[in-house]
Amino acid sequence: MRLRRTIRELLEHRAQHTPDFVFCIYEGREITFAMLEVCVNRLANGIAELGVTSGQRVAVMLANHPEHIFTVFALTKLGAVWVPVNINFRGPSLEFIIEQSAPNVVIVDAECWNHLEPVLADKNIDIIIVHNIQNVQIKLKGMKVFDFSALNKGDRTPPSIRPTLDEIRCISFTSGTTGPPKGSLMTERMLRTCATGAAIASDVRPGDIFLLWEPIYHNSGAQMCILALMEPVKLAVVPRFSASRFWDKIREYRVTKMHYLGGVIDILLKQPPRPNDRDHSVRLAFGGGCSKDNWRAFEQRFGIEVREVYGLTEASCFTTINTSGKIGAIGKPYPYFEVQIIDDEGKPLQIGQVGEIVIRENEPGLITQGYLENPEATATALRGGWLYTGDLGRRDDEGDFYYMGRKQDSIRRRGENISAWEVERVLNSHPDIEESTVIGVDADIGEQEMKAFIKFTTDATLKPLDIIMWCEPRMPYFQIPRYVAFVDSFEKTPTQRIRKDNLPKNTDDCWDLERSGYRIKRA
């Protein structure tokens, strides 16, 4: 894999050779490459006039709209370091990202300002740029605040800076479902490789149309924007993921390739069936997180081939790909990576044995250099030329790998190590359960007990004991949760994974299997 052009050079090449090709459409507004180049140059020069230079960190807290894309590309043209910020963050979560990344500049949507302003009060931020500034009242004193729209009227010629592929271009804070996020250092080469991985996974073809529902502040969204610079495809940008409107948008924009993450496949299957479920133009669904139980069900209901991949931010997003269609497998490594399954002592395991997934690059520069200001986490993850993912997996006799859950997401109960992922997979297969998650909580005597959080589908009327009895024939007795709590919604990461670190661990307000008097059958 040879990457010659930077993101800036990709954009300028397309603007020169295919100026009238539509890069994206948003709420009926088509943006061609000629328009994109002008908007990006104007914004880049406007930001540069404020003193932003190569290597400076710029935190960006914007929703899914074209100006967010302009911003990301403008920062790449300036050689600045993009720090994407989840627009749903507030309070300690938001303060953590700002403190850790220590940006010189913050670019924010007006809708996020009320959550960001208290966090910035005692921070040494040089410049604040507000998109739709007319909709907010700025109370902060002593900070330079600028109107985004005013900056977007600068010089339309390209900036003089010439960035390179191996500069740090992004500090991407990983989701942190079980702990605080870590700022993964990503070079521009890694961002380009993310897009290349997406192109391979989607079997990209000229004329393809992708629905950009993924947050641009997450690599899953950013990589699609870069992919659209690399290939003659179009993006249909929507503000956010919506299960109820997903297929309507697919049809409206004539989408041909569908990207999924986390529990998206499961969520879509839980929606009520429609007579027009197969009335669409999608030929392939690619992504990570399709459960074994729902794989065929999704293909049969919607008539779409599922292509499962595996990857993580620290290794340029795509590591393995399943092109054979083998149910449950994450497939074989991309040609530029090597993957092994190892034990706790770092020794390779045999076929079928479960251990930690580790990754080594076959080409330099595709794995992170480490985590921002976190040498301990860096030393834990990067050892002997390998990236230790913290994920569990196994390999079969045909060389295909299988994801088996998070190593740290294991619960120790009565002498047994239990994968939360295995329990959740069974719970989520219940037709009346839309989503679920399990965590370990303190036991009265030794080790841990398991607490399950359940979100029902519409109009479901299950009782806790109904769920326990559903589990009995489908999992070992020691995997059946003791505690059951019902919830209306889950706090999610940008990849639609449930954030477990914020779930309550108390057990006095939920159903208790042991107190119910029901006894699990161990036969």
Q: What pLDDT does 367 receive?
A: 98
CATH topology of domain 241-406: Rossmann fold (3.40.50)
Q: Are 182 and 157 in contact (CB under 8 A)?
A: no
Report domain extents, the chain.
7-190, 241-406, 410-516
Give the count of beta carbons closer than 10 Å to the beta carbon of residue 277.
14
Q: Do residues 143 and 128 lie in contact, with contact meaning Cβ atoms separated by under 8 Å?
A: yes
Residue 448 — very low, low, confident or very high, per pLDDT cuts 50/70/90? confident
Report the candidate in 333, 344, 347, 329 with the shortest Cα–Cα distance to residue 394: 329
Summarize the confidence of residues 180-200 as an average pLDDT.
Answer: 95
Mean pLDDT, the chain, whole residue set: 93
Assess whether pLDDT exceeds 70 at residue 177: no
- Mean pLDDT over residues 238-262, rounded? 95
Given a cut of 70, whether residue 178 has pLDDT beyond it is: no
What confidence tier does 515 reach under pLDDT thresholds 50, 70, 90? Answer: very high
**Looking at residue 218, what is its pLDDT?**
92
Mean pLDDT of 145-174: 94
523 pLDDT above the threshold of 70: no
Q: Which range is least confidently modeled, 69-73, 235-239, 240-244?
A: 240-244
CATH number of 7-190: 3.40.50.12780
Mean pLDDT of 215-223: 95
The average pLDDT across 208-234 equals 97
pLDDT at res. 480: 93
CA distance 483 to 53: 54
CA-CA distance, 133 to 408, in Å (whole number)? 43
Please say whether the beta carbons of 510 and 463 come within 8 A: no
Question: Pick from 11, 30, 51: which is nearest to 158 by CA?
Answer: 11
Beta strand spans in 253-369 (E) = 257-261, 284-288, 305-310, 320-321, 332-333, 337-342, 355-361
Burial grade of 65 (CB within 10 A; 0-12, 13-18, 19 or more): middle
DSSP letter, residue 240? S
In the prediction, which pLDDT does 415 show? 62
Of the pLDDT bands very low, low, confident and very high (cuts 50, 70, 90), residue 445 is low
- Give this prediction's pTM: 0.85
For residue 130, the model assigns a pLDDT of: 97
pLDDT above 90 as % of the chain = 79
The winner for highest mean pLDDT among 2-6, 289-293, 319-323, 504-508 is 319-323
The per-residue pLDDT for range 339-376, each reduced to its tens digit, is 999 999 999 999 999 999 999 999 999 999 999 999 99
The residue-averaged pLDDT of 390-403 equals 96
CATH topology agreement for domains 7-190 and 241-406? yes
Mean pLDDT, residues 46-58: 96
Q: Running DSSP on this structure, what letter comes out for residue 348?
A: B
- Stretch 114-125: mean pLDDT: 91
Inter-residue contact 40 to 70 (CB < 8 Å): yes
Q: What is the pLDDT of residue 381?
A: 96
Q: Which CATH number fits domain 410-516: 1.10.10.10, 3.40.190.10, 3.30.300.30, 3.20.20.370?
A: 3.30.300.30
